[in-house]
Structure formats: structure tokens, C-alpha cells
Amino acid sequence: MRDTTLQVRGANGYDPVTGAISFPIYQSATFRHQALHQSTGYDYSRVKNPTREELENSVAALERGSRCWAFSSGMAGIGALLKLFRTGDHILLSEDLYGGTVRICNAIYSKFGISFEYVDTSDIEVVKASITSNTKAIFVETPSNPMMLVSDIAAISELAHVHQALLIVDNTFLSPHFQKPLTLGADIVIHSGTKYLCGHNDVVAGLVIVKEIPRVIEELDLIYKSEGSILGPFDSWLMLRSIKTLALRVEKQEKNALQIASWLKTLPTVTDVYYVGLKDHPSYELTLKQTTGFGGMISFKVKSAKIAAEALGKLKLVYFAESLGGVETLLTYPIEQTHAEAPKELLARVGVDDRLLRLSVGIEDVEDLKEDIEQALAE
């Protein structure tokens, strides 16, 4: 089954019990047993729920994975993944990375003796030189947030596996519609389901998808049912509903983004534009090789911090808000919002400063978006 069809139909395609085309919301905490040792396969919703299971199976199929777990947030999913590691383990991460990921690593899991090192994963030689004897995982965000750096998933996976390390890829920016890291050699994929998979800014969710790696599946199952950071039935149903239109949304967002990225370069107050779909992006050819689309995320710099700050208050159509991937276009100020708690030296290293703005392009009329952005950025 091809992706667009799979997105619409889901894993089962309908409720096998009633024939309902819209998979039901099983809003039940517990399930009745007919007798001792007799179960429908569902016992308690923290462990398994039919609605959540349909979502998990659908996303696993989209990512070409073996198993998927739906969490209450993307950060809950990352927290579960970090519990796979032990004191003394070393993890390499993209140096340009969502600030919340940096925070959970540095402020929480470093206390347990796990060593985190941030490197330029878009440079395979840097990755190779940074691996040590105790490197257990490489965590890559590609394209990266917010500087849109692209890492070679196949090359890094080959390098990781030589050293018996796992490759974890945050695929939030492109969604499984445009990029499938597991097919390129990655072992685990993480999504903030809040973003493109949901696409309507009305659910907070996280998805973790893995290959057929028994030890990882067994441990994640244990973490999931023990800690209970699960996605509820109603939110799972909203995600299923949203994924039906994933292709339509992300392809429209990409179409708008391609136009806006090229157009931004003509504005007198804009100095730099970072979008993987521009032919002058340093990783344009790699993007063509490992993805089927460019996505809807653009970052750009303006001439001064004053222009950036004032633009946020002048917007009329575009929303000044955190998050991304929804049908509404959002403008974010990373240094004050998504990356406010990241180490200043790390931000300086990758180029995140007070002139940088991040645009999540929606599905509105592109001319309306351009008119609003132009007036907001005018001096």
C-alpha cells in the first residue's frame, strides 16, 4: 500500500468489530475479562488501548518500523529513549538541536552519569572523530532546528553500527511522508506528533518507532507501561483523523515554503535564508537523495535584532507563536522561545542569534502570507 493510501486508511482501515470507518474512541480505562486467564487482549489502557494501538500501528507502517509507542508528548518519548542508556554511556547529538532536547539531556539525564556531546552531525568526518569506545548512540535531528542543517542518515548509520551504537533520528520536521530514516539505516525514529502528524495545533503527542530490535522493544515496553506517559484515547483518535490529510497538508506547505523561501531572499531587510529546498543550500543534493520533499520549515536572519523583535508585534495574519507543522503559519523567535535554555556557547556555535526567525509555513494563500511578512519586516 502506498503512503497516501496508508495515511487515509490506517493500519486496520476501519473498526473490525462494528465496521466504523472512523476508528472508535475507546474511552475506557479498563476492560472486562470473561474469566480467569481469558482476555480480549486489552486489560488496562496504560498498557494497551485499541484507539492508541491503531495509531501506533499506523505510524509504524508509515515509518516502515516494527513497533511504535504513542506518548503524551515528544519530550516524554525522548525521556523514554534516554532510559535505554546507563551510567558511563556516551551519546553524540546534533549540535543544532531543539532546545528542549538539550535541556532534558543536560539538566536531567546527565545527573545519571550519561555523557552528552554536541557535534556537527552534518559533517561525517566530525562524527567519525567524535565516537569513543563508550559511544552507545548518535542522536540526529535532520533537518536541524532551527538552522536547517542536513545529516547523511545512511552514512551515519553505517558508522554507528560499526561501533555497535544506535542511530536515533528526530524526523519531526519532514514527517514520514517526506523522509523515512529507518529505511536509510536508522534504528529509532522520534516525532513530536504535535507538529506535522497532528497538523492542527490541537494535540500534544510524541511517537517513537523502532526497527525489529528485540532488546530495545522489550525495554521500551517496560518503560512505557511502568511510567505511563501514554497518549489518551481521544488524542489518539484526533491524531488518526489528522494523519488522513497528512499528504495534502505537507505538500501544500512545501509548495508555499518554496515560494516564500525564494521570495525572502529579495527583501532588503533579510540577510540569510535557510531552507533545504533552495538549490544553494549546502546539502541540497543530499536532501534529494534521502528525502522525497523539502518540508515547510524556513529560518532566516534579518539585518538587526530590532527588526526581528518589532516584526513579531506587527504580524496580522501570521501568528507569533511557538510550535510548528500546523495548517496555520507561525513565526517563532528561537533565541527567546524554543532555544531559550540552550547553552549560549552552543547557540553561538551554530549561529542562533537575536536576528534569527523561524517560519513554519501553513496552507494559507501564499500571496496573503507574503504581504503580511513583508509589512512586518519593513523598516
Which residues sit opposite 274 in a β-bridge? 299
Pairing of strands 135-141, 330-332: unpaired
| Active-site annotation holds for 221 | no
Q: Among 72, 365, 115, 121, which Cα is nearest to 235's?
A: 72
Cα 61 to Cα 67: distance, rounded to the nearest angstrom: 9
Alpha helices in 131-245 (DSSP H): 153-162, 175-178, 214-227, 233-243
The residue with cell 525521556 is: 79
| Active-site annotation holds for 249 | no
Q: Where is 349: in which H helix or E strand?
A: helix 344-350
Among residues 26, 96, 98, 333, the one annotated as catalytic is 98
Q: Where is 130: in which H helix or E strand?
A: helix 124-130
Among residues 195, 249, 252, 358, the one annotated as catalytic is 195
| Active-site annotation holds for 215 | no
Cα 178 to Cα 92: distance, rounded to the nearest angstrom: 25
| Active-site annotation holds for 280 | no
Q: Among 89, 85, 10, which Cα is nearest to 50's?
A: 10
- C-alpha cell of 155? 552514512
Cα 359 to Cα 163: distance, rounded to the nearest angstrom: 37
Among residues 46, 244, 255, 314, the one annotated as catalytic is 46
Cα 100 to Cα 79: distance, rounded to the nearest angstrom: 11
Among residues 96, 120, 152, 170, the one annotated as catalytic is 170
Q: Which residues are catalytic?
A: 46, 98, 170, 195
